[in-house]
Amino acid sequence: MSISKQLYNLQEADKELQKIEGVTAAKEARLRDGAALQESQSRLKDKVEALGKLRGEQRDQELQGEALAQKISALASKLYGGKVSNPRELTDLQKELEYLKSHKGQVEETLLGLMERVEEAEGEATVLETDTKRLEEERRVEEAKLRGELENLSVQRGLVQTQRDLLRG
């Protein structure tokens, strides 16, 4: 084999090694890059935290409504129990009862709005959780594929390197 042919083959082996190194670097970068999955996990975490806050607000409104219901019940039994005979006191009790009922209505409206927001947030969280699980599975499959491809590239690199070393000799 002539020297020029050997140099040409050596040059081709070097080009092949560079190509393999470039492909390997690109696949390793893809293996390290999990931005889509991380973003999905972050959005899911934020949604779960927001859902927890909404549930806390909902529970606070429920407790406030229960407390108002107890006050209304106690006030109604006092008002209609016949133990209070002073007209001024009866009027004050009636006004307080009306105020508490009005306030309880506002609390119930707020509670209904919160319940709707919680239900909506739960639906969004479920969708995000499904998407995140799908992305995790896709990422696992992609990682396995990339690792296999990197193994093949490593074998190819070894073969080309061996061929190059023989040509260089």
pTM exceeds 0.75, yes or no = no
How many angstroms separate the CA atoms of 26 and 5, rounded? 32
Q: Quickly state the pLDDT bin for 1 (edges 50, 70, 90).
A: low
Q: Quickly state the pLDDT bin for 31 (edges 50, 70, 90).
A: confident
Torsion on CA atoms 96, 101, 107, 112, rounded to nearest 10: 180
How many angstroms separate the CA atoms of 94 and 100, rounded? 10
pLDDT at 95 over 80: yes
What pLDDT score does 161 carry?
Answer: 87
pLDDT at 86 over 90: no
